[in-house]
Amino acid sequence: MHPFAKLTIGLLVATLFVGETDGQETTEDLLQQAAQAAQRGASQQAITLLSDVIAKDPKHADAWYLRGREHFKIGKVKESVADFDKLVELRPDLASRQWERGISCYYAGEYEKGARQFELYQTYHDQDVENSAWRYLCVARSEDIDKARQTLLLIENDRRVPMMEIYALFQGKLTPEDVLKTAEGGDPIKEQLNIRLFYAHLYIGLWHDAAGKAELAKKHILEAEKHRIGHYMWDVAHVHAERLRAAEEKK
């Protein structure tokens, strides 16, 4: 996803509550500590700190947003949806930006709600292949593949390689092999190739998953997880991979 992917503290709301109570840490202190914990990958610690912020200030939109992200990262998708819903309740003006909420809805099985969120996000940023792909995934689950393909959100100019090829894959015009060929083409530097392959494998895996091809989906999702990138979307791949491993253990 494009905008809002790496939100820093203070971008969601103009100011933070910074009043002190009996020498206790301010909400700003706790929020900064939570952000640092999140950056270290200490999601549970971040959640605890953000819960403290919310206890002090239940209307603190940043805290609800960040806790929604951290809940998702540890696989608590329903809690994540609840946090994002609270954010939207507090800041309805930000509803159109909440693509993370749509992804959480998808993994929580709230497919129609997820589809509506991605439709809304399209009004905020209308050239993001990933947004169209996630709505496709929601519609494929709530209705069927044909309906998902027929109602793909229109994307014409996502400049990231291989996003337009991924879009064509979801349209039924290209194959996974075509996507991977484009991802590897043009002699990209190592870091760039890693990013391209991450997105290629993630969306090929999700595309197979929607079609009910579990083994192919698993192969590509696990491969995407290996191509670690510094972005929330890697956490999405990791959560999906963890769910696959948990399902395998139950067998």
Using the predicted structure, report yes or no on whether residue 251 has a pLDDT greater than 50.
yes
Residue owning tokens 């190592």: 190
Residue 7: pLDDT over 80 = no
Task: Tokens for 204, please give them.
Answer: 């090929």
Is the full-model pTM beyond 0.95?
A: no
- DSSP annotation string for 97-116: G-HHHHHHHHHTT-HHHHHH
pLDDT at 15 over 60: no
Span 124-142, average pLDDT: 98
Give me the pLDDT at residue 187, please. Answer: 93
